[in-house]
């Protein structure tokens, strides 16, 4: 029984580690994870006969991405032990005092909530940036880190010839909010918090996108053989003089009371900072004393992290309202008595779907717990049932669309309810137009949500084809628009006629047809006419098109209103078929093959190779499995992928061989 409990905990923690470090999509809080880890540690201590070197207690969680070159750390990047109470801080303080047998100083710093990075400088120049990874080795993300303006590429002052400095890469709150607004407009999944956003960004393969996200960094620890000071604080001050961004929120503490004062001040003060923090870090100041204290297998004995509790507030649920998105998905929103939470006034919280409402057993007028913590989007985490007013009305999910009154539907396997009236429901009509003009669809500048709403309210556009009938004079008369803006919008509309056919298919907003599926449909049927005449069987023969997508495409194509829109767009010159160049580049040479692209390439980018695979009938996938047909390998191919490919006997080809395959020369 105990063995099964230990193994179950290990499996659960391994999954959470994967969610957090690989997917950057944690499903439990840090506190919940730490409590489970401590439970496992205690069980393994009590029952050493079940010890396992692969247990989560024996390793540091990994954020390795095997698409990057792996670099071994000169000094291991270990994690800090976490504490959640002042009593545990006192225990650390007293334990340190007893071990050292005398006086010592602690440096108290803010614990920034981002993604850890180690920077190496030689002769004053940044030569390498490596993620924490598994503590022993990490990903070389130097090209991406060079885009972060707060990280100096060249130092000034009297710095050592070679040293390492560690810190945290962060996404500021205002950048995070703007990024999530953009993702919401595109109906993409939102980042849960700035930490996930920063972690996901630094692992992108395109440094240009990394640069556009305006990441920041705070540096907090210097390592090397010839450091300027024999104290941690002295080296931080030196690093600042060399050009590094270090925190102003640092205090030298000579007593436990001074540590508590720092904790109490920043538990409130952190809420006004431009970046996310989730606690404080205490480090012994003297480097000699640090060496005397040493390390455990996973953590330094001379440092500890104190984690702030996620802020929670109790407030009253006044009502539940419902929002309709572009796809017709209906999202319930809790309307609350205003309450101060994490530096902002919260009046609304998402309830996500009907299942969440049911699990909370919500009643109108309930006192509910609202939590933000590291999450920017407030959520209701519980109900104070003891404060419920007798006879209060349970919250039941609505049955009809709040905008147009159409009965809602819930598709099999979906958590959300949908309004099926896609051509008559105002939010869906406007949402379809917003999607149509978006950057990855028709890319028409100047037609944002507010302008689309203006056009709709003034009767100038009720579907996407109406946009091509707009005249500059009509636009110039609208509120907040003038002659110049009107001309620019018309120019953007005209230019969109050059957008390739696969993006036109995506822009049409067929339910369940995303960017990738649109491309597959475009290359499978070659023209809009062929796509609109396709049978269910023909649609399902396309890679990744199942029953749900096939039925949605059939329903869309069968609607006379959609057929009319297609003809009007065709008349305006939009591309309704693949071009000759696209057809010539397309072949079936990789038909039926699943290809993994890994490493860095010199002749084409990774995205270009992925496009070639699709154009030649192949399928891209990110992971190696028994279904993988071929691996296109560049320099520094991920070691885990190489190992798995060799084990499975999968063919590996380089750039030249792959291009020869596509040209028919092989």
Q: At residue 21, does pLDDT exceed 50?
A: no
**SS3 for 520?**
helix
Q: How confident is the model at residue 575 (pLDDT cuts 50, 70, 90)?
A: very high
Q: How confident is the model at residue 376 (pLDDT cuts 50, 70, 90)?
A: low
The phi, psi pair for 350, rounded to 5°, reads -75, 140
> What mean pLDDT do residues 408-430 have?
89
The phi, psi pair for 574, rounded to 5°, reads -70, 150
Q: Tell me the CA distances in angstroms from 648 to 106, 627, 634, 644, one per residue in order.
A: 53, 10, 19, 6
Q: Are strands 651-653 and 630-633 parallel, antiparallel or unpaired?
A: parallel
pLDDT at 186: 62
Domains of the chain: 2-58 (1.10.287.610), 70-307 (3.30.470.30), 312-387 (2.40.50.140), 426-498 (1.10.150.20), 501-583 (1.10.150.20), 587-663 (3.40.50.10190)
pLDDT at 30: 72
Pick the range with the lowest mean pLDDT from 30-39, 42-51, 141-150, 629-638: 30-39
Residue 649: alpha-carbon gap to chain centroid: 34
pLDDT at 521: 94
Per the model's pLDDT, the better-predicted residue between 345 and 318 turns out to be: 318
> What mean pLDDT do residues 252-257 have?
96
For the entire predicted model, the pTM comes to 0.56
pLDDT at 22: 46
CB 285 within 8 A of CB 231: yes
Residue 582: alpha-carbon gap to chain centroid: 33
Q: At residue 183, does pLDDT exceed 80?
A: no
pLDDT at 66: 47
pLDDT at 26: 72
What is the chain's mean pLDDT, rounded? Answer: 88
Residue 282: DSSP 8-state: E
Strands of 159-224 (E only): list them.
162-170, 216-223
Q: At residue 187, does pLDDT exceed 70?
A: no
**SS3 for 386?**
helix
Per the model's pLDDT, the better-predicted residue between 30 and 54 turns out to be: 30
Helices (H), 382-496: 426-437, 449-457, 472-476, 483-495
Closest CA to 487 of 499, 476, 497: 476
Question: Which tokens belong to 276?
Answer: 């996310």
- Exposure class string for 99-112: b at 16+ Cβ within 10 A, else e: eeeeebbbbbbbbb
Share of the chain above pLDDT 70, in %: 94
Per the model's pLDDT, the better-predicted residue between 564 and 308 turns out to be: 564
Instruction: Given the residues 3, 111, 600, 643, select the one marked as catalytic.
Output: 111
Which residue is listed with tokens 């990855």? 440
Question: Which tokens belong to 207?
Answer: 């440094």
Q: At residue 23, does pLDDT exceed 60?
A: no
Q: At residue 343, does pLDDT exceed 80?
A: no
CB 555 within 8 A of CB 591: no
Q: At residue 382, does pLDDT exceed 70?
A: yes
Query: How many Cα atoms occupy the beta-carbon half-sphere of 480 within 13 Å?
Result: 9
The phi, psi pair for 32, rounded to 5°, reads -60, -40
> What mean pLDDT do residues 642-661 have?
87
Verify whether residue 111 is a known catalytic residue: yes
Per the model's pLDDT, the better-predicted residue between 324 and 28 turns out to be: 324
Question: Which tokens belong to 592?
Answer: 């039926």
Pick the range with the lowest mean pLDDT from 11-15, 97-101, 241-245, 548-552: 11-15
Rounded to an integer, what distance in angstroms lies between the CA atom of residue 304 and that of residue 299?
Answer: 9
Closest CA to 167 of 103, 273, 258, 240: 240
Q: What is the pLDDT of residues 122-173, one digit of tens each?
A: 999 999 999 998 888 888 999 899 889 899 988 989 999 999 999 999 999 8
> What mean pLDDT do residues 215-226 have?
94
Q: How confident is the model at residue 196 (pLDDT cuts 50, 70, 90)?
A: confident
The phi, psi pair for 255, rounded to 5°, reads -150, 165
> What mean pLDDT do residues 388-410 have?
94
Sheet containing 106-112, strands listed edge to edge, beginning at the edge strand earlier in sequence: 82-83, 303-307, 277-284, 106-112, 250-253
Q: Which helix (H) or strand (E) holds 254?
A: none
Q: How confident is the model at residue 63 (pLDDT cuts 50, 70, 90)?
A: low
> What mean pLDDT do residues 444-465 have?
92
């Amino acid at each position: 029984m105990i063995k099964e409990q230990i193994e179950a905990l290990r499996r659960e923690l391994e999954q959470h580690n994967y969610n957090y470090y690989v997917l950057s999509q944690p499903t439990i809080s840090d506190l919940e994870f730490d409590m489970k880890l401590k439970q496992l540690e205690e069980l393994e201590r009590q029952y050493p006969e079940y010890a396992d070197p692969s247990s989560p207690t024996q390793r540091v969680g990994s954020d390795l991405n095997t698409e990057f070159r792996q670099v071994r750390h000169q000094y291991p990047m270990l994690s800090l032990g976490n504490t959640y109470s002042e009593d545990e801080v006192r225990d650390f303080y007293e334990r340190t005092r007893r071990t050292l047998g005398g006086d010592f100083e602690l440096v108290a710093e803010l614990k920034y909530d981002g993604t850890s990075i180690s920077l190496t400088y030689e002769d004053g120049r940044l030569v390498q940036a490596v993620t924490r990874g598994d503590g022993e080795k990490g990903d070389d993300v130097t090209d991406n880190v060079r885009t972060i303006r707060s990280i100096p590429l060249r130092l000034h002052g009297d710095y050592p010839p070679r040293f390492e400095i560690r810190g945290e890469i962060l996404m500021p709150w205002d950048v995070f909010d703007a990024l999530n607004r953009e993702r919401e407009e595109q109906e993409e999944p939102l980042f849960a918090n700035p930490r996930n956003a920063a972690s996901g960004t630094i692992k992108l393969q395109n440094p240009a996108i990394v640069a556009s996200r305006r990441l920041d960094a705070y540096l907090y620890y210097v390592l090397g053989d010839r450091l300027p000071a024999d104290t941690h604080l002295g080296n931080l001050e030196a690093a600042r003089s060399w050009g590094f961004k270090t925190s102003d929120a640092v205090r030298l503490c000579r007593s436990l009371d001074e540590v508590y004062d720092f904790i109490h001040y920043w538990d409130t003060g952190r809420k006004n900072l431009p970046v996310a923090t989730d606690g404080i870090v205490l480090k012994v100041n003297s480097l000699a004393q640090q060496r005397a204290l040493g390390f455990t297998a996973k953590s330094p004995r001379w440092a500890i992290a104190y984690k702030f509790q996620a802020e929670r507030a109790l407030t009253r649920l006044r009502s539940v309202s419902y929002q309709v998105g572009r796809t017709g998905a209906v999202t319930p929103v809790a309307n609350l008595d205003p309450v101060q939470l994490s530096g902002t006034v919260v009046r609304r919280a998402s309830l996500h779907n009907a299942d969440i409402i049911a699990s909370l057993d919500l009643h109108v007028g309930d006192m509910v717990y609202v939590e933000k913590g590291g999450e920017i989007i407030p959520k209701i985490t519980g109900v104070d049932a003891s404060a419920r007013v007798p006879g209060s009305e349970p919250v039941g999910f609505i049955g009809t669309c709040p905008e147009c009154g159409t009965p809602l539907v819930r598709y099999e396997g979906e958590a959300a309810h949908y309004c099926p009236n896609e051509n008559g429901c105002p939010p869906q009509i406007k949402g379809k137009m917003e999607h149509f003009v978006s950057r990855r669809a028709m890319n028409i500048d100047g037609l944002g949500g507010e302008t689309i709403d203006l056009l709709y309210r003034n009767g100038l556009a009720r579907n996407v084809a109406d946009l091509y009938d707009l005249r500059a004079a009509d636009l110039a008369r609208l509120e907040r628009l003038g002659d110049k803006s009107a001309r620019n919008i018309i120019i953007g509309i005209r230019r969109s006629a050059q957008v390739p056919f696969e993006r036109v298919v995506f822009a049409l907003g067929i339910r369940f047809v995303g960017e990738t599926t649109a491309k597959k449909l475009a290359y499978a049927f070659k023209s809009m006419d062929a796509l609109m005449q396709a049978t269910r069987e023909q649609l399902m023969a396309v890679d990744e098109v199942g029953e749900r997508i096939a039925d949605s495409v059939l329903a869309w194509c069968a609607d006379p209103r959609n057929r009319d829109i297609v003809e009007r767009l065709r008349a305006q010159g939009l591309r309704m078929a693949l071009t000759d160049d696209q057809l010539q580049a397309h072949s079936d040479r990789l038909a039926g093959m699943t290809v993994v692209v890994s490493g860095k390439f010199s002749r084409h980018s990774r995205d270009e190779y992925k496009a070639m695979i699709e154009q030649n009938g192949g399928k891209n996938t990110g992971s190696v499995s028994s279904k993988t047909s071929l691996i296109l390998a560049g320099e520094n191919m991920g070691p885990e992928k190489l190992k798995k490919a060799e084990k499975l006997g999968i063919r590996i080809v380089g750039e030249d061989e792959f291009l020869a395959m596509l040209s028919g020369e092989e």
